[in-house]
Structure 1
Amino acid sequence: MRVELSDEARRYIGRFDELTGVAPTDCLVESDRLVFVVPAGEMASAIGQGGETVAEAERRLGKSIELVEDADTAEAFVASTLAPAAVNAVTISEQNDRVAYVEVPEADRGVAIGADGANIETARRLAERHYDVDDVQLT
């Protein structure tokens, strides 16, 4: 699926690439944070040793940064969007709507949902943009 990027998102992607050497494939621009989707296998480079690289990018871009690792399947991608919450399984329903049902341990539900629902909402937006998943539900 082809992701449409705003000019602002493109600028942030270019700047992040300059700062880290990792070229994200997507960027969600929110008021207080940026969410970058980085290619599979490049998460360690984007974070840097001890988180130094991403911390410097946050300082220079003036926003909190969250990273999501891209994946080959919708199920793996949805699990990645909810990290660091532990995800036991993801099932995609193919009925009227495509819904990702995510099995998360009770102890990690708060992490998966995030403050004011920010994490689950980010997972929903990214899953829809990349895999045409209409909703993400925790089970």
Structure 2
Amino acid sequence: MSVVLDNELLQTISIVEKITYARVDRCIPRDDKLIFVVGMGDARKIVGPQGATLKKLEQQLGKRLKIIEKVDDKLQFIRNAMLPLKVADISEEDGVVIVHGADEKTRGLMIGAKAQNLRFTEKIVQMYFPDVREIKVI
């Protein structure tokens, strides 16, 4: 999945960085949502005290925001990408990552209709960790 940075997306990144002083690594549009991948420790800056900064940004941009904190550990990055859903356990073998959802409802939300949520998360993870061939939720 490649993301084309048009002027609107660049302006959005600029607004977020100016308001929060966070470093945005990537902004990925998806339907009515914007997904920001930010540097380590910068997720807190975007969320702000009691979520106030995040709410302000969502109102200003007119879209819901999802924040993924970038880390060097592949499995932790996948956990971050799945938030706020709870990952009970996670492991990897030969490029296939196995994610255990906390319960049946959580697993359903991780996967989504026709596996769209899972495949989208997989594509984001592959931008940073190309050796991940597949993510499976059990």
Contact 1:88 1:103 in 2 (8 A): yes
* 8 A Cα contact 1:89 1:104, kept in partner: yes
Say what the alpha-carbon RMSD is for the aligned residues.
Answer: 2.2
After TM superposition, the score normalised by the length of structure 1 is: 0.82
AA matched with 1:130: Y
Query: What is the distance in 2 between the residues matched to 1:121 and 1:40?
Result: 24
User: Size of the alignment, in residue pairs?
Assistant: 134
Q: How much has 1:110 moved relative to structure 2?
A: 3.0
CA displacement at 1:137 relative to structure 2? 0.9
Is residue 48 of structure 2 the alignment partner of residue 48 of structure 1?
Answer: yes
Contact 2:24–2:37 under 8 Å retained in 1: yes
- The aligned residue for residue 87 of structure 1 is 87
Does the 8 Å contact 2:47/2:53 carry over to 1?
A: yes
- Where in structure 1 do 4 or more consecutive aligned residues deviate above 6 Å? none
Matches within 5 A, 1:95-134: 98-107=95-104, 108-114=106-112, 117=115, 119-132=117-130, 133-134=132-133
Segments of structure 1 that go 5 or more residues without pairing to the other structure are none
Structure 2 unmatched runs, 5+: none
Deviates more, 1:124-133 or 1:13-22: 13-22
In the alignment, the residues of structure 2 paired with residue 6 and residue 16 of structure 1 have an alpha-carbon distance, to the nearest angstrom, of 18
Q: Equivalent residue for 1:57? A: 57
Q: Judging changes above 3 Å, is the alpha-carbon distance between structure 1 residues 68 and 114 closer, same or farther for their aligned structure 2 residues?
A: farther
